[in-house]
Amino acid sequence: MNFVQPIRDPDVIKGIKQYLKLRSIRNYLFFCLGIYSGLRVSDLLSIKVGMVKGSHVSIIEQKRKKPKKFLIHPSIRDDLDGFIAGKNDDEFLFKSRQAKTKSKLKGQPIDRSTAYKMLNDVAKEFGLVDIGTHTMRKTYGYHLYMKNKTNIALLMQMFNHNDESTTLRYIGVTQEMMDEETKRLPY
């Protein structure tokens, strides 16, 4: 498995948001909730319409089985409200337009592979490498850390990591710091 990277450039993130919004409001909101919540893709795909009607979303993380509550970023509130208008509370927020291949079930969330393909199409469009479904989660952590480098404990809690080095490595800061130090070598 490849080690994916966060999207470090805020202007690229803005460009991706604009690009997705013009093509698919569902994919735009999927990306935005990913970069504004730090959720794993499996948790994003489990969100139902009724869960996003307030200011916060509360879920139980599938991997760690721990509760997580996050704020819906105000910048996407109007788009989200328009997207969910007329939908039932128990519908998946990121519902597939097709029936599942094996089960033939309709109304299920998009597949992880669909999310991966969407993100990789965007990566190609923007010339990004080492992008995957964890990129959104890492982007969230990277920018929170870069904004307030002294609050690593908060990030560790958000990601359920046990030590700082794991969190810094996870969001790509350790490699970035090593690269910068290598560039500073006097020879």
Catalytic residue list: 40, 63, 134, 137, 161, 170
Backbone angles phi, psi at 183, to 5 degrees: -65, -25
- Cα separation, 142 vs 12, in Å, equals 14
Which residues are CB-neighbours of 164 under 8 A, at least 6 positions away?
152, 156
DSSP 5-42: -----HHHHHHHHHHHHHH-HHHHHHHHHHHHH---HH
Q: Tell me the C-alpha to C-alpha distance, in Å, between residue 127 and each of 13, 52, 103.
A: 12, 32, 36
Q: Is 139 left (phi over 0), alpha (psi -120 to 50) or beta?
A: alpha
